[in-house]
Structure 1
Amino acid sequence: MATMRALVVSKNGKLEEALSLTTVPKPTLDENSSNVLVRVKAAAINPVDAKIAEGALNILFTEKFPAGVGIDLSGVVEKAGKGTGYNPGDEVFGAMPMSARGSMAQYALLPASSLAFKPQSLSFVESSAIPVVGVTAFQALSRHQGNKEVAFIPGGLGGVGSMALQLAKHHFGFQRTFTTVSTAKVALLKEMIPDVDVVVDYKKVDPSTIIPAGGVDFVLDPLGTPYVWAKYLRTEAAKKPSLVSIIAPLKPAVVERTFGVHLGFVLRNLLTVMEWWTAVWIPRQINYESMSADPSVKDLTTLAELANKGLLKPVISKVFPLDQALEAYQFADSGKSYGKVVISID
């Protein structure tokens, strides 16, 4: 049996207890399937990886150990199922389904519908940092159908925030972009995303003293507190202001689709109440939605095209080798990182 090195969750607990680098069976491809076997070159860390390892999402599903780790990846097609459109040697990037994680490994098996051809202008490391955060930002901004004068995207050096700031102007046509970062990251953000119009140091200044109430068309909530941002949005319903949260409670159907689970009666009702209670505080003229990314070939391809045109580039704070995967996760979880942390596998 062919084997490979992979980062796995061996049990739930603190990262140093839960994560281990080990040898596992290499995935095998059914050539009649719509799957693709990818030789992984790089994989990016997402916050949900650590939450799953720590057991924070055990209420949704029961993990079978050892469990794969990671969603984002870039690499080279090793083998492909018939009719997938991919051939050995193709360079690809994408996001593994939440129900079949395992990008932190030498090989990954995933549906062709979760992949697209890698941006040729970017390295494997850079490409791996795009899928989840890029698709999240893209789909959040796609939900806005109103006026496009100002987009307010707090946390501009976060993975999603850094993507959204670029996409808002370069693809969705917003005239101005506002963001917030801590004191230590102000200069860094201005260097990495120079066309942001207003950068507020929230450690020194209350954003509401800089960004006028009622003067924003779109807000992306990165904290799960959408009601905090509602005051910044326009009060005229005709201008269709939008508030999209990527952290707030989700509708049960979205949770089931994202994680590939079936929720029981009690949990479904609990999530329904939580989502309703969050939304009830948002003024009615605001189009509010809490969302989870749903990666698609179409959206990944659009992101690759924007990258190839020089209109989108991931922000990466540090790259680690696979042998230092635990250190990479600890760094990503330390609060010292920005943008994405990537693990180079080949």
Structure 2
Amino acid sequence: MGPVATVGRERGARGRRAATTAALLAATVTAALAAGCTSGGGPGDDGRGTSRQPEQSTSPSATGSSVLAVKLDNAAAARPHTGVDAADVVYAEQVEGGLSRLMAVYATRLPKAVGPVRSARESDLELLRQFDRPILAFSGAQKKLLPLIDKAPLQAKTPGDAPDAYFRGSGKPAPHNLYLRPERLLPKAPGPAALTTGFRYGAAPAGGTATTSQTVRYPAARFTFTWSDSRDRWLVGMDGAPATTADGKRMAAATVVVQYVKVRASDFRDFLGNNTPYTETVGSGKARVLRDGRAYDVHWKREHATDGTAFTTGDGTPVNFAKGQVWVVYAKAS
């Protein structure tokens, strides 16, 4: 099992776990209908994960000082996504069966809706330690993982915790149709100071190689980033098709980071028996930074889980990112 924080618990007593999944489904569907939303089923993760009961205290989110991180489905049936274009950072990681999931992090602006929302993984806890008590929105998690989530220094918000913040859309089948209303968890965007990622923004570093396209392959998924001079952005492709938002906009990043990390087996498996990969984001290694139509082979370092990640050239010079959305794709180091 990877390193997981055990610093404190949320203030206020945790509610008891749901006696049955059916009870949780009924509560969330009722809340969604009361809010005038269409419902395609309950809030869980297709029977693969267990949701948490509501916390009795939600006051930490009222400060507006924490980033919002939303765990997103990335199966073909879940696309196109909603609200991803408003994220400051999008993380992509490998999950069971060689597929991929996304985590979108919001600090400078909040969209009206985000989704589809799916379940959390153990790696998420380490990744999110870089932020100050972030809000993690997710649909549920494996029963054995829930105690680790409870102990982590974050604000866990499932449909059981905040039923009025989630709804089921009508355009996709469950479990690919669960959406979040961010404003129900955060009164306003916390601002750029909450993005304690360690990223630097500014002029491009010297050197680099002119590059038009970069592909990252997982066993059963792939990401392709293609440079667009007219957009001054890297256009995102997934599994061989253009990635668009629900309103038809092409997903595009100002900076793309392909970060080579250790990906190992965790102590968790899905309902089919597939092992859940653990992506180690603390440590050091190689990375490729894409910006302004050029690729830079650099080094990354994150000494402690509470640190952001530093990217430097061979001589130790910090690498600046282009202003705008950043995609970080975790790839297995060779």
User: Does the TM-score normalized on the shorter chain lie above 0.5?
Assistant: no
Tell me which protein shows more helix as a share of its residues.
Answer: 1
Larger of the two Rg values belongs to structure: 1
Tell me which protein shows more strand as a share of its residues.
Answer: 2
Q: TM-score by structure 1 length?
A: 0.28
Q: TM-score by structure 2 length?
A: 0.29
